[in-house]
Amino acid sequence: MTTELNLSASQFIILAIVLSFAVTVLWLKKSYFQLDIEPVTDNTPRNVGTRYGAYIQSQGKYYN
């Protein structure tokens, strides 16, 4: 990296310190928005799936 930017050793150290400080500030910064995500609930009745497979098989027999 130092050869690509043509930095001396002291300039590279200063750049690393500044970038580390910037990353720390951005990491610890308080966010101004909050996501309103509601938990997903299962609204299907429990007895829906009891005969569903038989229903699908019977539809294949009647309409094919």
Q: What percent of the chain has pLDDT over 70?
A: 72
**Domain positions in the chain:** 1-29
Q: Give pLDDT tens digits for 15-45.
A: 999 999 999 999 888 777 777 888 877 766 6
C-alpha span between 52 and 45 (Å, rounded): 13
Task: Tell me: pLDDT of 46 over 70.
Answer: no
Mean pLDDT of the chain: 79
Q: What DSSP line would sit under 11-62, residue for residue? A: HHHHHHHHHHHHHHHHHHPPPS-----PPP---S-TTTTSSHHHHHHHHHHH
Q: Model pTM greater than 0.75?
A: no
